[in-house]
Amino acid sequence: MLLNHENCCVNWEGFQKETPLYVAVKACNESCVNVLLSHQADPNILNHMEESPLYQAVLQGSMNMVEKLLRHGGNADQKQYTGDAPLHVAASNGNLGIVKLLLEYGAIQDTVSDFNMTPLFLSARFGHAHVLSYLIGSAKAAGQGYLVDKQAEDGATPLYLSAQNGNSDCVQILLKEGADPHFKTSEKDCEAMPLHAAVQFAHKECVGLLCDVTDIDLCCKCAVGTPLKFAINDQNNGDCLKQLIERGYDINSQSVTYHGLENSIFTRPFQKSCTEFTFLTWTLLSNYHGSTAYPNMVKILLDSGAHVNSTKDTELPPLLAAIIRHVGKDILELLITYGADVEVHHPSVRIIDNMSMALKLALMVKNLTAVRVLLEHNVTPPNPQYSQGREREIMMIFWHRCYQHTGETTSGKARSLWSPKGLKHLSRCKIRRSLGTTKFKERLSQLSTCQPPILPHLMMDYLEYKYELGE
């Protein structure tokens, strides 16, 4: 009745410039839509966001309303404020029926949004393989086969987004239809190929598909470097790492830059000289705390032939990286088993007492686990006679802890912590424990007053670390 009134305006715009037709479509009220269209409601009036009733119908996924609006003159290419046309929405939502309907009514397939994204691009991005396949066929039939590799504003292609989001079906379709896996994103210092994206997000199926068609040399020349870096950077990406190595990516062919040494506890000796890091060293420096996958990543690299010792003075030796990051005993043992040199040297560190650099570093960073492992593998022990200052103090503390003869306090020359003296030293420790740690001096004093003396004076001094037998 209202529409029949002489003063009624079927296209009256209300709140946010919405017409009765737009409101009816938004409410999915088909009967009202039918009545309004029969009274010549305009299907192309836009609201405040430049959305037409047709755009809203596509958004609602109503095939019937879309068809009615198109039959009554709805513009299939009318874009809203972000540049998205109805075809963009239908492709994003995976609604193949509406995609076909829009194309039938003349929708332009190579239309782009504000970010230069096509409907084909969006179907690949959101993993709608059935829509993607249809749009590729339609584009090729219209002589627009180039849309398969049409890049967005940042240089990403449909293949890149499919790989990044793990849409393996879409990756397979695009490669079959001739998509080029060597197109790179255009972001400064971050140019990457689809394979990089697949590895970065641990999509192993996509990695397998792309490895077979991606040129290794071209891939590694991208600004982001080899995809191995992304595989190693993710603690749960062991499968992708294996795939890359099996396909021929060399874990020793390229060093990477690591910025984590800045302002760290050990930067002074290594920061300027160590400018390169092997993938093994980088993995050790990353040290995913508490991860059960971390040891597996290290073992994959070692099993694949990663250099366990540095080959250049500009590289940080893997064993030192492991000590710095306080990795577990299992990793340290693994490195040594695979040939890591416990007597490793580096020109950036001055050794004044012939002590192993690895042991010295372990003492400096207070890594008790590393100290124990190194000593178990016959590393050259320190001689505190030649140590000075803070280093001497640290060595005193850790040497006591490693050999577990503390709980006792020593004085004088004993605090310089002479290196263990074999059986004599072990016997001394045993006697001291037998006499009791807390009342050792009192009991030793009682022994000294016995007549005749039970122990010689030299032996007494030896037990108190005042004298070294054989010195």
- pLDDT over 80 at 30, yes or no: yes
**Which pLDDT score is estimated for 360?**
79
Between CA 70 and CA 59 the distance in angstroms is 15
Q: How many CA atoms lie within 13 A of 407 on its CB side?
A: 11
Binned at pLDDT 50, 70 and 90, residue 405 comes out as very low
Q: Walk me through the domains of the chain, giving residue ranges and CATH numbers.
A: 189-248 (1.25.40.20), 250-403 (1.25.40.20)
What average pLDDT score do residues 260-269 get? 49
- pLDDT over 80 at 70, yes or no: yes
| DSSP-derived secondary structure letter, 4 | G
The more confidently predicted of residues 164 and 42 is: 164
- Are 63 and 33 a contacting pair, CB within 8 Å? no
Query: Which residue blocks in 177-316 are alpha helix, DSSP H?
Result: 194-200, 204-211, 216-220, 228-233, 238-246, 267-270, 279-286, 294-303
| DSSP-derived secondary structure letter, 276 | B
**Which pLDDT score is estimated for 359?**
83
Between CA 247 and CA 80 the distance in angstroms is 46
Between CA 378 and CA 401 the distance in angstroms is 18
- pLDDT over 70 at 146, yes or no: yes
Between CA 96 and CA 133 the distance in angstroms is 10
Between CA 123 and CA 93 the distance in angstroms is 8
- pLDDT over 80 at 68, yes or no: yes
Collapsing DSSP states into helix, strand and coil, what is residue 195? helix
Instruction: Provide CB contacts within 8 A for 245, sequence distance 6+.
Output: 228, 251, 300, 304
Q: Is 182 exposed, middle or buried (0-12, 13-18, 19+ CB in 10 A)?
A: middle
Binned at pLDDT 50, 70 and 90, residue 287 comes out as low
The more confidently predicted of residues 228 and 430 is: 228
- pLDDT over 90 at 355, yes or no: no
When mean pLDDT is compared across 20-34, 108-122, 366-380, 425-439, the lowest value belongs to 425-439
Q: How many CA atoms lie within 13 A of 340 on its CB side?
A: 27
The more confidently predicted of residues 349 and 171 is: 171
**Which pLDDT score is estimated for 66?**
95
Q: Which residue has the tokens 């790179």?
A: 184
**Which pLDDT score is estimated for 244?**
93
- pLDDT over 70 at 271, yes or no: no
**Which pLDDT score is estimated for 409?**
41
When mean pLDDT is compared across 205-219, 263-277, 450-464, the lowest value belongs to 263-277
When mean pLDDT is compared across 51-60, 193-202, 405-414, the lowest value belongs to 405-414
- pLDDT over 70 at 55, yes or no: yes
Between CA 27 and CA 25 the distance in angstroms is 5
Per-residue pLDDT of 290-329, as tens digits, reads 555 578 889 999 999 999 988 777 788 899 889 888 888 9
- pLDDT over 80 at 465, yes or no: no
Binned at pLDDT 50, 70 and 90, residue 376 comes out as confident
Average confidence score pLDDT of the chain = 80
Report the C-alpha dihedral over residues 457, 458, 463, 467, rounded to 10 degrees: 140
Between CA 139 and CA 147 the distance in angstroms is 7
Instruction: Give whichever of 67-71, 353-357, 359-363 has the largest mean pLDDT.
Output: 67-71
> Residue 421 is which amino acid?
K
pTM: 0.75
Binned at pLDDT 50, 70 and 90, residue 270 comes out as low
Q: Would you tell me the crossing angle of helices 53-60 and 63-71 to the nearest 10 degrees?
A: 160
Q: What percentage of the chain has pLDDT greater than the value 70?
A: 75
- Are 443 and 449 a contacting pair, CB within 8 Å? no
- pLDDT over 70 at 5, yes or no: no
**Which pLDDT score is estimated for 439?**
65
